[in-house]
A and B are shown apart, each in its own frame.
Chain A
Amino acid sequence: MSFLAPLFFLGLLTAGLPVVFHLIRRTTRERTPFSSLMFLAPTPPRLTQRSRLEHLLLLFLRCLAIALLGFGFARPFMKRAMAPPPNANAHRVLVLVDTSASMRRAGVWAEARHQVDSILQGASLLDQFALYTFDRQTKSLVGFNEWNAMPAGERAALASRKLAEQAPGWAGTQLGSALIQAAEVLAEPIGKSQASSGRIEVITDLQEGSHLEQLQGYEWPKGIEVAVHTVRGRNANNASLQLVSDEVDSDANKANDTRVRISNSPGSKREQFKVGWRNSDAGFVGQPVDVYVPAGQSRVVGLPIAPGIAADRIALEGDDEDFDNVVFAKPPEPIQLSVLYIGNDDPGNPRQGLYFLKRAFQETRRQTVEVVAAHPGEGITQAQLQGATICFVGSPVSNETAAALHDQVTAGKTVLAIPSGTGMESTLGKLLGTGSLAYQPIRPSNYAMLGELDFRHPLFAPFADPRYSDFTKIHFWAYSRLDPSGIPNARVLARFDSGDPALIEVPTGSGRVLILTSGWQPDSSQLALSSKFVPLLYSLLETSGAPSPLPAQYRIGDVVPLGPLTGSSSVTRTVRLPGGGQQNLDSAQTNFLETAVPGIYTVSAGGPAKTFVVNLDPSESRTSPIAVEELERLGVPMAQTASKVAADENRKVRFQNVELENRQKMWRWFIIGTILVLIIESWFGGRAARRVSPVASPAPG
């Protein structure tokens, strides 16, 4: 028999009370009148002088009543054999070790390895372990299959050895995606049966810049839980250095100082730092700048580059953790683009299209777009045609020019033809490789509007947002009506409200021909004056294969497209790495992937060498730890601690006991027993009271 509330057995102590009451001489309730109490003093109740208990049966009944009541309140129940616990399946544990740059801090990596070792040591023979590392990407060191293939006694040692070969890299932390990948690895069924449970043991410094946002909305597979083992660095002090903008000006103009942000971690005890340019790992070049940054704050300072001194990096001194104390800075080289306009327009005439085209492409530090105007009557060189990213044809051209343009289109170029006025039928036909293409100039009575645009097309995709998708404010006074059905493969990208096509795309060979049925000059439309004109041109430029501007710096792990750097992709390129090594890339590789180390990379492809800068992910410098509860908030199923598991088990047992007790309700029998005993006791008590004379009357003298 078990009891739900055994504390009530303390009430059994009160069973001693009847014994005491039986020892106390009973205070009679009868009153004896007496003439005067002036000679009398009250007698205190006292235990009988004899230690003999009277009315033993009554005493027994009273003690029994109290005992039964105590038993009843203790909620007794009979324990039945519990259902045996389900056979515990072997656990599948995926150990996920953080190898991001923030793990380079002093003592962190050693602590992480120690924790991994202790987890691996705890593996039983049935358990299946996998060892993964993650930074920006997740990498498998030991998979489940590999673990199973290893000799049972050496699995932990082998896995530990594999981890020892690893070291923290320079990449940022993508904990969110790593967890998702790990969960998906665990969720994969193994063999015939689905794994009953799986656990992800994450060893990380759980820094602020861990990028957990991917976990939002992720639906975790059932049976998977995550245990986080946080490792802490020896130092709470960490200051970091970041370039404020992507622009680093090459000229030593004072107004164009390179601006860097120095951030100090919240728990830092250091506040005084030096920032300056360097050209190697040791020693500042020129005078460093003293910066005072209190803990948890940041400061932005401008760093001038001394004229005539070559310096390629900015360094921070005064910080305990130096993994994020250097940023490499190098001015980007602008990309030269060329746009060819073939027409009779006067560049200075504001009523003609060329005037607006020249002004639409502004020169920036990253990109220079040159608008080359060519008269159709003059000879247009092949070099002009080849160098142009896009060709605008606003006037009828000669057959030769049209054929050359057609060749360029077939090779991949984009040509935009504007059939305004008359005489373009033949040119259009030559461009498209068909016969003459007839069109009819239309001048609407009022004006025409763009009524239907294909926002799924890359050209209009930037305008797909409802905030920018209203083209109806652009009025068109005149356009050319074309029948697209006569053009093979033609796709109408925009129509006027009358249903006539406004922009037609005709893929030809590798390139395409675009036909804009109305000009942008004020005589034809308000397009050039609208806010859509410049974005539309840049969108046209991008969709025509123009390389995007190069960023001032790349982050570790970024893919660096080599096209903008080296131009033609038919040459074998060599990339010199910051550490001194070099990597040869064949012509098929258009991107450079091995941006594993911060520094300046140099790409050479026969011509002048180009450089690009790879820096640390700035979020990696946010080393303040976040609470594990943040993961719980994001819906990560956290594993319970041992004490919580024990508490849960206790609670479960207690619930089972309560359920059993509720079913059996043995307390009722004890209460009934108590009532019966009390009835018998009352009967005996009454009989005993009748036997005893109430109060002895005074003896007559």
Chain B
Amino acid sequence: MAHLLREQGFNAFVIVGGLGAWRKAGQPVEIVPENDLVHLPTFARKVALRVRQAGR
């Protein structure tokens, strides 16, 4: 990725060790906000939907 970005003219670098090294160094992380989450289907959601429909 970094190499491709540099070829496109961006000043790109790679963080050694990634998120794991970042956490290990005690640097701040954040929980991904709800609107950035991708909601994949689950069977539990389908069950919850049926329960709501039955309750109406």
Do A and B actually bind?
no
Which positions in B face A, CB cutoff 8 Å? none
Which positions in A face B, CB cutoff 8 Å? none
